[in-house]
Structure 1
Amino acid sequence: MSWELIPEGSQPGRRPSRNFPWGVPLAVGIVTVLIGMSLLIWPFFAASRILAFLIGAALIGNGIATLVGSRARGFGTPAAILFIVLGVVALAFPELTVSMLVGFVAAMMLFVGTIWLAIAIRMRQALHWVFIAIPAVLVALGIAALIWPSLALILAAFAAGLLTTLIGGSLIWAALALRRGNA
């Protein structure tokens, strides 16, 4: 290894000696497209499974990190055990996990929308319709999510599936461009 300011392969007209491993973004892109397509085809089932897996894995990971960190800092382990148990419960009961998450998000939308609407109404001076419309829509979406949580999850899963499929497609396109040497 030399300590150059400009590496050998970066001079104009010269190809780098090592190729980028284009298979990695291709594999990630394919998996991402498959996840996105599953969210588009089976939005409720896939969303509940994916969300429950992510939440459960995060809780278990935090529990393990807290357990390892508690020894170094002298904290007790009850919080770590609680995180791990909650993570296992989230993985075991995905529908319950997702319904609680949707309820929490709906309640937060109601709370934030109501506070924002109250502030907008109290401003009185230079009251623009946007300052009333956005929080009103937020409150309406929160109410709709509380009344129809499965519909809210399906719509969110469909939107996430569309976005995830597009991201996966762009990863595949970039990997193939790297393979051809066009990137």
Structure 2
Amino acid sequence: MTLTQEHLDFEKLSRQLIGLTILKVEYSEIAYEPKNTKPYYPTQFANLDSVDFSIFLHTDNDKLVEIYWDDKFFQFGIGIKVNEQSDFSGSIIWDVSTNNLWKKFIGTTIIDIHITWETVTTTEEKTGKTEKFIYPQDIKITFSNDKNIFISAAGFLNQGDKEVYGMQDNLTVTDNEELAKQVKMIN
């Protein structure tokens, strides 16, 4: 797989997270029922959340990191913004800093980032033209406490499903690598 300069620039952007200390974590979800606000991110799996659509990492040095599903490289991949305006509005923000999944990362520093690049080939029906896209499917973030968080542009198609599917306008997030492999968030 050959990465273009645009891919390398995205990796360089992701490396800007290294050295940041997490102070607070928020999920931003679509307000499915504005009058009945409740979180939709919990799943049937302990320590695996399904977020429609972004995760905000509030860090030291006044940096706000947004990890979201994005169509920069292909329809549904991972996107990252640092101190930029979110593209989404009309959402509900949930502070998840004290949730079991995130509380072990509050006060820790990001020491490494690994992006998994996937390749997808599409064929236009009318012309038969084939295109290949390389896009960021998931991210592994390693923290100073030697624990990891895994974030994938994937989601459950139905409530109660045992596996996620990529190419979704959704993020799944967990700190459990075995579980991430079991539900097919990562390979």
Greater share of strand residues, 1 or 2?
A: 2
Question: Which protein is bigger by CA-based radius of gyration?
Answer: 1
Same fold (TM over 0.5): no
- What TM-score, normalized to structure 2? 0.26
- What TM-score, normalized to structure 1? 0.26
Greater share of helix residues, 1 or 2?
A: 1
